[in-house]
Amino acid sequence: MKTIKLFSGIMLLAILVGACTSVRVATDYDRQVDFGKYKTFAFYKPGIDKAEISDLDKKRILRSIQYELQSRGYRLSENPDILVSIFTKEVDRVSVYNNVGWGWGWYGYPYWGGGYNSVSTETEGSLYIDLIDAGKKELVWQGKGTGYLVTNGNMAKKEERINEFVKEILAQFPPVTTQVASVEN
């Protein structure tokens, strides 16, 4: 019985830790666009300048985007097919835990023990990556990654987390489009 409880506790901990480290991704795109025509990219400075994060974090994000796109065969160009812009958003999540205990006391009588309250705050961030058709100046693809951020001052972990966000978001680009054949009656 003790091994089942121990195993259950370990599984719960693994699920909670996994939930805190994963990046939730959502994408949207224009279904009328042929994404196969895009071969080159550049960064869209006016959009990037509006992102409300430090210049150092912007550099980290842009380096990661550049690495991911180039590893997929896209080339950085002064005459690009697509422009890359970013947008960020942060939300502080506050959790309050009321820990009250109960158990069996003297002579088999149940007791209700006083507990303690604990409060934790975590920062959840969203990174949007927008891809804009350079010729038409129209948004053609948007990816959003949401997850908890590393804010404890460990720069290596922070950069690793940024790379994870970018990699997970761009894993959805280019979109896999399926053509539905029309059936005539």
At 13 the pLDDT is: 35
**How many C-beta atoms surround the C-beta of residue 180 within 10 A?**
5
Counting the structural domains of the chain, the total is 1
Owning domain of residue 84? 24-92+127-170
At 15 the pLDDT is: 37
CATH number at residue 44: 3.30.160.670
106 lies in a domain? Answer: no
177 lies in a domain? Answer: no
51 lies in a domain? Answer: yes
184 lies in a domain? Answer: no
Backbone angles phi, psi at 17, to 5 degrees: -65, -40
Helix (H) or strand (E) holding 39: none
Whether the Cβ atoms of residue 143 and residue 35 lie closer than 8 Å to each other:
no
4 lies in a domain? Answer: no
Whether the Cβ atoms of residue 148 and residue 162 lie closer than 8 Å to each other:
no
Mean pLDDT by groups of 10 residues along the chain of 185 residues? 42 39 92 96 95 93 98 97 94 70 62 64 88 97 92 85 96 76 42
What's the predicted TM-score (pTM) here? 0.72
83 lies in a domain? Answer: yes
Q: Which residues contact 90 (CB under 8 A, 6 or more apart)?
A: 123, 124, 125, 126, 149
Tokens of 128: 């949007």
At 98 the pLDDT is: 66
At 168 the pLDDT is: 97
36 lies in a domain? Answer: yes
Distance CA(53)–CA(90), nearest Å, equals: 10
101 lies in a domain? Answer: no
**How do 75-76 and 40-43 pair as beta strands?**
parallel
Q: Which residues contact 92 (CB under 8 A, 6 or more apart)?
A: 121, 122, 123, 124
Whether the Cβ atoms of residue 69 and residue 170 lie closer than 8 Å to each other:
yes
At 161 the pLDDT is: 93
